[in-house]
Amino acid sequence: MNTPQKNTHWALVTGASAGIGSEFARELAARGVNLVLSARRLDRLNALADELKAKHAVAIECISADLADPAAARALVEEIHHRGIAIDVLINNAGYGVPGKLTAPAWQEHADFIQVLMTAPVELCYLLLPGMQQRSYGRIVNVASLAGHMPGSAGNTLYGAAKAFLIKFSQSLALENSSRGIHVCALCPGFTRSEFHDVSGARGVVSKMPDFMWMNADVVVRQGLDAVERGDVVYINGRVNRLLRFFGKHLPDRMALKMIQRQSKRFRVQDGK
């Protein structure tokens, strides 16, 4: 195991092998935070770790985990403890989208999605919070989405619902721990340039969105880490996204749903039943 260098804090980043997760790893390493990187693809984690150790004086551990497995979150935390590491910063980033309407995929795809995007983040918080509380220090970023603030869309049926859950969960967790030196933030980016849309099969659809709708992953991450450090409980990246959230919140429900219904085909894969 690597020996920690300048910083005694350790961060766990889930879904760290690509996209926003790898940018969290890069930014945290640049800030001197030691890292536990977790994802399914250990080869990509090791390559990222080599890159970061060459640039920054931080310790890095890589642990393969598939959070779709109901036993994975607890096994991940047990392995971290076995390696003698106490996690002070938790980045619940692992996630993806299931394209199509509700009955298009097999149920197991939805069950795995719920496990990865909802159950696993909550369980990781549940398992790691006691240590943070004992040390009177903790930072938790739950990567949600602008979609969690907007009306539901046709296609990717569970995505907005899961992200809305993360936002409400983060708010409650923040209130419960605000006096204990622990900051919790639901980070809500909009369209972000990363591998996310390739994995979900939506690249061909979302590539038609105008350039001003997009943000770079490194900017999203820097803003998110600054937000949780300030104590922001919910942070929406970008003025355009904050404006969209304003309209989504204040338009009458019927009007907002009609608008999303017309626009869903521009950013959601709707093939299937």
Q: Indicate the domain borders of the chain.
A: 10-266
List beta partners, residue 104: none
Q: Please indicate, yes or no, whether the overall pTM of this predicted structure exceeds 0.85.
A: yes
Query: How far is Cα 193 from Cα 252, in angstroms, rounded to an integer?
Result: 31
126 tagged catalytic: no
Looking at residue 239, its pLDDT comes to 86
Which segment of 6-20, 140-154, 257-271 scores lowest on mean pLDDT? 257-271
Q: Which two tokens stand for residue 239?
A: 């003025």
pLDDT digits (tens, 9 = 90+) for 124-141: 999 999 999 999 999 999
Is the pLDDT at 175 greater than 90, yes or no?
yes
Instruction: Tell me the average pLDDT of the chain.
Output: 88
Mean pLDDT over 82-95 rounds to 98
Looking at residue 180, its pLDDT comes to 97
- Whole-Å CA distances, 149 to 9, 85, 266, 267: 32, 35, 18, 16
CB distance 95 to 70 below 8 Å: no
Using pLDDT thresholds of 50, 70 and 90, give the confidence band for residue 272.
very low
- The CATH architecture that domain 10-266 belongs to is 3-Layer(aba) Sandwich (3.40)
Which residue do the tokens 């195991």 mark? 1
96, 126, 137, 159: the active-site residue:
159
Measuring CA to CA, which residue among 138, 121, 116 is closest to residue 129?
138
CA angle 47, 52, 53 (to 5 degrees): 100
Which segment of 2-11, 120-129, 210-219 scores lowest on mean pLDDT? 2-11
